[in-house]
Structure 1
Amino acid sequence: MITLKNQSTGLVKQCPTGYSWTTFLFGIFVPLIRGDIKWAAILFLISLFTALCTAGFGALFVGPIFAYFYNKIFIKSMIEKGYSYSDEATKSYLIQNSIVCAEPTPSLNLSNAPQKTNLSDN
């Protein structure tokens, strides 16, 4: 579980990490309860399409596969909404799991360095 904080409102949210067992067990209801309407609709449409193509059997596989990715998707959507890490443990988790990129290191300012020119003999 990681903690994200909205920089503009100060609201703090706990976000689960890893495999989403709640999504595995309760399916579409988890994104609905979290207020993630977009992913609830996507999960519903994928399940519906898979069920129609496989006479209902394929929809059994959508939930376990989606549960593997959903917590990471939810964290990314929270970051897009203005949330950021609230502590160093959360920051290191986000970087290690490639959810956010590490902060770039300051580069050298080479604007005052002499410019190389390519002069050809004519």
Structure 2
Amino acid sequence: MVNLKNETTNQVKQCKLGWSWTVFFFSFWPMLFRQDWIYLICYAAWEVIGNTIAFSNDGAFITVSSADFIIRIVMSVMYNTLYVKGLLKKGWKPADEASKKLMQAKGIVLTESAKSAEKAANQSVETPVKSESESVEKPAEKSETQDADK
């Protein structure tokens, strides 16, 4: 399980990585409950088209049923990872370091917006503070640059 956080709403979701038993047993229903509209439409369309072909022609039933079973296994293997990647693209970020490491171990790469936000957070912490003497130009240097401009 990984924890993902939406920075704008402060909402936290726990998501599983790996095999999805719910997709295997309940087809497109988990996608509906998670409001994952893209995969819901694609998978439901496959179910409708496949069932229409399978039940309209006796010879196609075995072929379509076999294809449906293979697609169901493939989606069960991939769906949880696809769902997490979709949330990351929408701006969700790992809520903790353990979730981040687990996602990286599973091959999930943070999106550019998440990386840039993380870099900005790290830079604000690591930015050295200049002393007052370093930030103020010396009067002699200031007069030299003014003379060069004229």
Give the structure with the higher percent helix.
Answer: 2
Q: Equivalent residue of 2:3, what SS? A: strand
Q: Which residue of 1 aligns with 2:81?
A: 72
The equivalent residue for 2:109 is: 100
Equivalent residue letter for 2:33: I
Q: Which runs of 5+ in 1 are unaligned?
A: 104-122
Task: Write out aligned runs for 1:46-85 (5 A).
Answer: 46-51=46-51, 52=53, 54-55=60-61, 56-57=64-65, 58-85=67-94
- Structure with max Cα Rg: 2
2:2–2:103 contact (8 Å) kept in structure 1: no
Root mean square deviation of aligned Cα: 2.3
Count of aligned positions = 105
Kindly provide the CA deviation profile for residues 52-84 of structure 1, in whole angstroms up to 9, marking residues without a partner as x: 374342222221211100000000011111100
**CA displacement at 1:45 relative to structure 2:** 2.4
Q: 8 Å contact 2:28–2:44 — kept in the other structure? A: yes
Match of 1:108 in 2: none
Instruction: Provide structure 2 residue ranges, at least 5 long, that are not aligned to the other structure.
Output: 55-59, 116-150
**Offset of residue 49 of structure 1:** 4.5
CA distance in 2, matches of 1:99, 1:8: 22
Amino acid at match of 1:73: L
Q: Secondary structure at the residue paired with 1:12? A: strand
What TM-score results when the alignment is normalised by the length of structure 2?
0.62
Query: AA paired with 1:9?
Result: T
The equivalent residue for 1:16 is 16
